[in-house]
Structure 1
Amino acid sequence: MSASHPDFDAGIAADLLERLRRTAPRVHCITNAVAQHFTANVLLALGAVPSMTIAPDEVAAFAAGADALLVNLGTLDDTRRDAIPKALEAAKAAGKPFVLDPVFVNRTPVRCSYAQDLLTASPTVLRANRDELAALYPGQDPLEALSRTSVTLAITGAEDLITGPGQTLRLANGHPLLARVTATGCAGGAVIAAFLAVSDDPVLAAAAALTVFNVAGEMAAERARGPGTLVPELLDALYLIDEVQIAGRLKRV
């Protein structure tokens, strides 16, 4: 996965954003309790439609009818454990893309084992930080392990690495203030799912999603006085962001 992706630029990110706003894809989010409210508002500000139920008796219908699925393991309670396999089976049967965000799998072996089982469902995009990847692939190079699969990997941090079969992108947008508000990373996973709903290229979709979200974060941080005012500024920035702002800030490494 060493070849670069020469096609990604601000125009592509803006085109996918416009497609998202025009079609308003629904993203079904099985996410953690801390992130639900913020994630829903991020998707709405962006132009997508969230659905959030985790009820095991109805989650399959919600996932099958959605345009993309997010599975976030931030609060892995019994209800979510029951709901996730049902949602994944329904989404896969309906041919819908899904994002796996294995939050904090490096903190507990039980959660890590559960996430490793979910990886057998071949997520369209695996979004994780380096500590989480090290836990998921002990003693292995995650990039090498995933190079033999169809999974696109989005490693997030100060620099984001997006890599899929034969193609790699490195991006460096964002702002440190985003880390001072809970659930910004989790919401970013939902944004990736929204962009997957409007693109057949998971690498470009993930790159566009992270670019739009992180550039909006930079715009918001410049106007915010601190974490408390960052949240409304971020929602406004996601609502207002356009190609001019993306082009003026996009940082490819």
Structure 2
Amino acid sequence: MSEITPQAVAGMLARVRQARPRVHCLMNSVVQKFTADGITVIGGIPSMTGSLEEVESFVGRADALTVNLGTLDAERREAIRLGVAVARGQGRPWIVDPVHCDYSPSRLAFARELIALQPTVVRGNRAEMALIGETPGILRIVTGPVDLLQLGEASVEIGNGHPFMAQVTGTGCLSGGVIAAFMAVEPDALAAAAAALTVTGVAAERAAPHARGPGTFAAAFLDALATVGDTDILHHARIRHDQPEHE
């Protein structure tokens, strides 16, 4: 893995904005609009349908897929299975967010079913990822005040973000969509995800001074994602690499 620098992050953001990748989202119905807005303002093109009659066609036109288990029912499970099959068949990058798998045994079983299909990324909080366990060959992201990304022996920590993000439902789902957009233009999944989380974290830091609280932060965050640029990233990115030790 080459070092992920602020310059590389800025370059990937420019590629997303130029390529305008299509990202299909099978996710929490509570946060669909916020996630779609986030993907749009960063430069991507979102689609959100979970219809069993349409999901295969929509995923077939997408450059990347993000799967979020937030509001899960029998029909959504089947739509996810159909969408994942198309993404795998076309060799598209896809991400699984096993939301609240620590709350429900059936949800955990479904998350493990999906992870057995080798997604590009699995992303969750500390409790969720502790239950998921090891994910050989899959980029593993443990979210928190500092996000930890691990793939094999390589790991990266992203220190950007703001506490308001934890007070607005959907910021994590939105960042999953942004990761998918970056993976559509960058084949190195670790580099793409690190860049996406850096961009969203820097945007959150830019937005916070303009917010009076979580409600106004959500709007300011979208504005900041739309306008975040090279200077912001070069001056404020907090990326730390943990290189593997060699004897």
| Aligned equivalent of 2:143 | 156
| Aligned equivalent of 1:142 | none
What displacement does 1:165 show?
A: 2.9
Contact 1:20–1:195 (CA<8 Å) still a contact in 2?
yes
**SS of 1:237's equivalent?**
helix
| Aligned equivalent of 1:218 | 205
| Aligned with residue 128 of structure 2, among 129, 132, 142 | 132
What displacement does 1:166 show?
A: 3.4
Q: How does 1:102-251 map to 2 (within 5 A)?
A: 102-137=98-133, 145-146=134-135, 149-251=136-238
Matched, 1:85 2:72: no
Q: Percent of aligned pairs with the same residue? A: 43
| Aligned equivalent of 1:10 | 6
What displacement does 1:6 show?
A: 5.3
**SS of 1:196's equivalent?**
helix
Q: How does 1:47-58 map to 2 (within 5 A)?
A: 47-58=43-54
Q: What TM-score do you get using the length of structure 2 for normalisation? A: 0.95
**SS of 1:95's equivalent?**
coil
| Aligned equivalent of 2:244 | none
| Aligned equivalent of 2:28 | 32
Instruction: Give the superposed CA RMSD.
Output: 1.0
In structure 1, what residue type is equivalent to 2:177?
A: A
Matched, 1:41 2:41: no
In structure 2, what residue type is equivalent to 1:131?
A: A
Q: Deviations over 1:148-194 (max 9, x none)?
A: x3211111101111111332111111000111111111111111111
Q: Distance in 2 between matches of 1:240 and 1:12?
A: 18
Q: Structure 1 unaligned segments of length 5 or more: list them.
A: 138-144
| Aligned with residue 16 of structure 2, among 12, 16, 20 | 20
